[in-house]
Structure 1
Amino acid sequence: MSNTDNRCRLVLIAPDMPDLAERSKVLADALKGGDVASVIVPQYGLNETDFQKHAEALVPVIQKAGAAALIEGDTRVAGRSKADGLHIAAGADVLGEAIERHTPKMIVGGGNATDRHHALEIGELRPDYVFFGRTDGDIKPEAHPKNLALAEWWASMIEIPCIVMGGTDPQSALAVAETGAEFVALRLAVFAEPGQAPSVVAAVNALLDEKAPRFED
């Protein structure tokens, strides 16, 4: 097993699949592919009851693989499903409230840092991580250049870890790693062809092992 502590690690965004059994299986298979730090579970179009069912099914799958399960947006669903944390995509006020209520019991991190000003505003709240991009923001093969630029600026001066949304091409993980970001998030790059998910996770880990810059202790 490679040492992943000193390089950028992979974060998965759970795939958008209405069939719960299929979603659980695809995610479980992907997690067998190699190192994954955490999995963010978005609500997508599910109502709260169905989101609760999905969370309760997926959280144990994620945790069994040794990754942290982060529920996007819904604090009640996160609590009831015994998730490890919350991913807050809303603004600084919502994130601040979640940090106040749920840290240190849960991991609480967030996004919507669209520019340096908002990123610093979020940073002042001391979240567990800052997310650059949107969890469904992988619309091109490469990561968004603005998010890469923000991550490079952030990583050079702020200690709070950052996650950067990658693109639809698994190779985009390397461009994220080169910014100095601690984590790269992938969704369609891994799950567009569900049967390939484990081998994509393995390939991304191999790429990061070989080429990602190492953090200094």
Structure 2
Amino acid sequence: MDEDRIRPRLVLATTLLPDGEVGEAALREALGAGDVASVLIDPAGRQPAPFQDFAERLVPLIQAAGAAAIVAEDTRCAGRVRADGFHDASGSVPALREAVGRFSPRLIVGGSGFTTRHEALEAGECMPDYLFFGKLGADLGPEPLRRNLELAEWWASIVEIPCIVQGGSDLGTLAAAIETRAEFIALSSAVFSDLARAGTQVEAANRRIDAAMEEATA
């Protein structure tokens, strides 16, 4: 029995979402299908103006569903679209420190790109709201990357700052991410590679998380 086990929550990344109604409809379905803590709005190669248009349409949709809208990489966009947070994906400790100093606590501030324990601890000293072990757009393989799993498991066991671990593209491998005890699991390809099934995939992911928690606390 593990009564202290915290149930991980889903974080969705918009990397594969197209602009326009089709992408918005898929995200709306995903958000309505089960528990989602936040959405990382990824530029995914868009130039600043198109990205701002993209984010401006998604932020109200995300917030209306009770999730946090976190804009990645573009600080100006995060402010202009009234996002709930900013995600620094540079892997730079000075950049993360600057973002925390500039936006926290007004916005949620997190970062990614830290690939060793030493880097992660240095990033943690900046006191972000979370660290993300993974890389936006790098979840195309069915299984989560071992390095991300190992870092998340280590981090979750010793550091109070929450972490997000990146899941794989196959929900059948979700157990590996759950077992790290990370507070959040990021999914993108697993949910949005087939836009018509986005809601179904979020529902299935939450069902797997619930089953794992029941087993852990039985």
TM-score range, shorter chain: over 0.9
Deviations for 1:63-88, whole angstroms, at most 9, x for unmatched residues? 01110000001111000100000011
Moved over 6 A (4+): 213-216
Task: Supply the distance in 1 between the matched residues of 2:75 and 2:109 (Cα, whole angstroms).
Answer: 10
The alignment status of 1:20 with 2:15, answered yes or no, reads no
> Any gaps of 5 or more consecutive residues in structure 1?
none
Task: Supply the distance in 2 between the matched residues of 1:86 and 1:215 (Cα, whole angstroms).
Answer: 33
1:77 is matched with 77
Q: CA RMSD in A?
A: 1.7
The size of the alignment, in residue pairs, is: 212
Change (3 A) 1:133 1:15: closer
Change (3 A) 1:129 1:29: same
1:111 is matched with 112
1:53 is matched with 53
Change (3 A) 1:127 1:214: farther
> Any gaps of 5 or more consecutive residues in structure 2?
none
1:142 is matched with 143
Is 1:177–1:213's contact at 8 Å kept on the other side of the alignment? no
TM-score by length of 2: 0.93
Deviations for 1:112-157, whole angstroms, at most 9, x for unmatched residues? 1101011001000010000001011102101000110111111110
Task: Supply the distance in 2 between the matched residues of 1:214 and 1:74 (Cα, whole angstroms).
Answer: 41
Q: CA deviation at 1:167?
A: 0.7
1:179 is matched with 180
Task: Supply the distance in 1 between the matched residues of 2:214 and 2:163 (Cα, whole angstroms).
Answer: 15
Q: CA deviation at 1:213?
A: 7.5
Q: CA deviation at 1:17?
A: 3.7
Q: CA deviation at 1:177?
A: 1.3
Task: Supply the distance in 2 between the matched residues of 1:214 and 1:155 (Cα, whole angstroms).
Answer: 20
